[in-house]
Structure 1
Amino acid sequence: MAKSSVYLQLSQFLQKHESNNLTMKFEEIETIIHRNLPPSARKYQAWWGNCYNQKSRHCQAWLEYGWVQESLDIANEIVTFRRNKDAV
């Protein structure tokens, strides 16, 4: 991930997190990245997808550190990440 990525702080946060599951409100993520999520994050489930074959900076923020998006509640603005046990 590029060091200048908007989502670098999220990557670092996940890297340091000790449990295998993490549920976060969108607001919490915005606090971590020091900016608002794009409107598409609040509108489209696909934005939160685990984009294994794409280079989207936001999903690489969790995939590169061994996390996957496990569940999403757009209406309540909550996302749950899970450590991917297959990741190194």
Structure 2
Amino acid sequence: MAGKYIPLEKYLRGLPESQREVTLRFEQIEEILNGKLPFSAYESKKWWEHEKEGNHVNGRSWTNAGWKVDLVDLSGKWAKFIRTE
């Protein structure tokens, strides 16, 4: 399961260092992952929380890339990531 989110980590790492934020629709994230987000990503903001350790491999993918989720809109189906470094 951990490998599922590696494409998202690579995508975020590949953004220019000068770019401080990026907003992605859930659909765009699924295209990056080449797969569907779990139901909980659509239903719970907790799924999007910043985590350096623990069982949430999704959160480690953006954390490892130096990003965190700043805002998430479940009804609009988008997440805004900001650089942490």
TM more than 0.5: yes
Letter in 2 for 1:73: D
User: Do the aligned partners of 2:23 and 2:80 also contact (CA within 8 Å) in 1?
Assistant: yes
Q: Residue 35 of structure 2 aligns to a residue in which SS?
A: coil
TM-score normalised by the chain length of structure 2: 0.91
Counterpart in the other structure of 1:78: 78
Pairing 1:1-88 to 2, within 5 Å after superposition: 5-18=3-16, 19-85=19-85
How big is the shift at 1:52? 3.1
Q: Percent identity?
A: 25
How far, CA to CA, are the matches of 1:44 and 1:22 in structure 2? 20
Q: Which runs of 5+ in 2 are unaligned?
A: none
Runs of 4+ in 1 over 6 A off after TM superposition: none
RMSD: 1.4
Give the partner amino acid of 2:26. F
TM-score by length of 1: 0.88
Stretch of structure 1 that moved more, 51-60 or 11-20: 51-60
Deviates more, 1:53-62 or 1:29-38: 53-62
Q: Deviations over 1:21-75 (max 9, x none)?
A: 0000000000000000000000000000012342311000100111011001000
- State how many pairs are aligned: 83
Gaps of 5+ in 1: none
**Residue 72 of structure 1 aligns to which amino acid in structure 2?**
V
